[in-house]
Amino acid sequence: MTTERAQEKRQFGHRARLALTPAQVRLLDAQAHAARATWNLLHDFWMMTPKCRRSLKAADEAIRRARKEIDWLAVLPAQAAQAVLKTYHQAWKNCWQGRADEPNFKARLRTVMSVDIPQGRDLQVTRVHRRWGMVNIPKFGRVRFRWTKTLPVGRQADKDNRITGARLVKDALGWHIAFRVQTLGTAPPPHAGPEAGIDAGVNIPLALSDGNHQDHGRPPRLPDGTADRDKWLNPDEKAKLLCLERRAAHRKSIRRHGEKTSRRLQNTYDQIKRLRARATRRATDWQHRTTTELARTYGVIVVEELDIANMVKSARGTVENPGKKVAQKSGLNRSISQEAWGRTVTMLTYKAARHGGTLHKVPAPNTSLRCSACGFITPGSRKDQATFVCENPDCGWSGNADHNAARNVLHLYRMGHALIPAAGRAVVRRTCGVKPAAAR
């Protein structure tokens, strides 16, 4: 007798690289700058308008009037301008509920260039080759993109399986398109795999309680003991990066105070950004592959509830009370940030659910100091970042510190100490925007 499983909707994103000519790059850059300028003009309009007159209708009318009167704002499609307004209003909602700070001015050099395409029907995605697809961009035309994942297009698309929108994003490696995809599929059966506790570390990126540690094969530190910030680059790329950084430092030193950055210096900065972006993509690719394998293997995954923002705070103090081991703490902070533990947990959360498994979080205190063999807790048991030696005379267990912490994480889950996600509470801050109706 077979049991029919329920259908569930899934939403995921897929990012692909666009193949653009230099002229097309300039056109997309113009749209991105228009979107950023629309945000800034909308922010000025919102802050200068009296509170009693602020409304989405008034802001929408202001955007429409600006697009008619300013030619370079009209380069941005109307739907993309409406998406800017929607995003700006959502930013205020996040501020009112205490999830973020107030929306602010977007600077040209510190803002990610992006354009939103909120409606999927405008894209008209088609596959023209085994490796290439075509997508239509409003007020731009059809362009090619790398086809690396099956998308619901053509006869495969319907109201339940379709592309709902996309966002164009530019980084140091060029323009990319991030599709928003909605699918309807059968809910996966409960995963019958084993349980595993995971401890995120620096020496071992992901230490598992059963010893199946996941290592990316790149040492976190150099021979002199300092953190290796370029571990995802090969030796030739590291040498090139060092040469570019020295060149940039030299060209910056001969620039006069207040003088505009030269094209040569800006070109050097762009080459450095491309190498950094390449390293980031390799790290993200390793995270995706590793988390997918873990979600397929284990039915229950247990991790620590870490406050990463507090963990990477600087140890620097005041002149009267200077911080201790500031250089060592900064190197540790850099290593923690490079491993991107929060992104790993996010990937494990949705991938475990996709394969029928579950992810649980347990309290983090004392998982690194407790002996997983006898339960004895002493501050001196953690000899260094990599070694744990139990100081209980009746035990004396020794091993890798991250492996010991992973076993403790799994033990806490089995003892019933899994955390229950708290319901979000609406926190209203005193801001310059219009308060929500519940707070009036």
What contacts 82, CB < 8 A, 6 or more positions away? 60, 63, 118
Q: For residues 178 and 11, is the Cβ–Cβ distance under 8 A? A: no
| 251 is a domain residue | no
Q: How far apart are CA 378 and CA 403, in angstroms?
A: 17
Q: What is the pLDDT of residue 244?
A: 95
Distances (CA, A) of 381 to 135, 296, 387, 393, 403: 58, 34, 9, 12, 14
Distances (CA, A) of 202 to 56, 214, 341, 378: 47, 12, 10, 22
Largest CA distance in the chain: 82
Within this chain, do residues 218 and 182 fall inside the same structural domain, yes or no? no
- Six token digits for residue 205: 């990126």
pTM over 0.75: yes
Query: Which three-class secondary structure state does DSSP give residue 160?
Result: coil
| 319 is a domain residue | yes
| 154 is a domain residue | yes
Q: Residue 165 is part of which domain span?
A: 7-186
Q: How far apart are CA 283 and CA 293, in angstroms?
A: 16
Within this chain, do residues 300 and 336 fall inside the same structural domain, yes or no? yes
Q: Is 217 exposed, middle or buried (0-12, 13-18, 19+ CB in 10 A)?
A: exposed
Domain count, the chain: 2
Within this chain, do residues 176 and 211 fall inside the same structural domain, yes or no? no
Q: What is the pLDDT of residue 424?
A: 36
Within this chain, do residues 286 and 229 fall inside the same structural domain, yes or no? yes
Within this chain, do residues 101 and 211 fall inside the same structural domain, yes or no? no
Task: List the chain pLDDT tens, one digit each, 440 residues.
Answer: 455 677 888 888 999 999 999 999 999 999 999 999 999 999 999 999 998 888 889 999 999 999 999 999 999 999 999 999 999 999 999 999 988 899 999 998 889 999 999 998 889 999 998 899 999 999 999 999 999 988 998 888 888 899 999 999 999 999 999 999 999 888 888 888 899 999 888 888 898 988 888 888 877 776 655 667 788 899 999 999 999 999 999 999 988 888 888 899 999 999 999 999 999 999 999 999 999 999 999 999 999 888 777 777 776 666 566 666 666 667 777 777 778 888 999 999 999 999 999 999 998 888 888 888 888 887 777 766 678 888 777 787 788 888 888 998 998 888 888 887 644 333 333 334 444 444 43
Query: Which three-class secondary structure state does DSSP give residue 100?
Result: coil
Within this chain, do residues 200 and 94 fall inside the same structural domain, yes or no? no
Q: How far apart are CA 308 and CA 337, in angstroms?
A: 9
| 52 is a domain residue | yes
| 34 is a domain residue | yes
Q: What is the pLDDT of residue 364?
A: 84
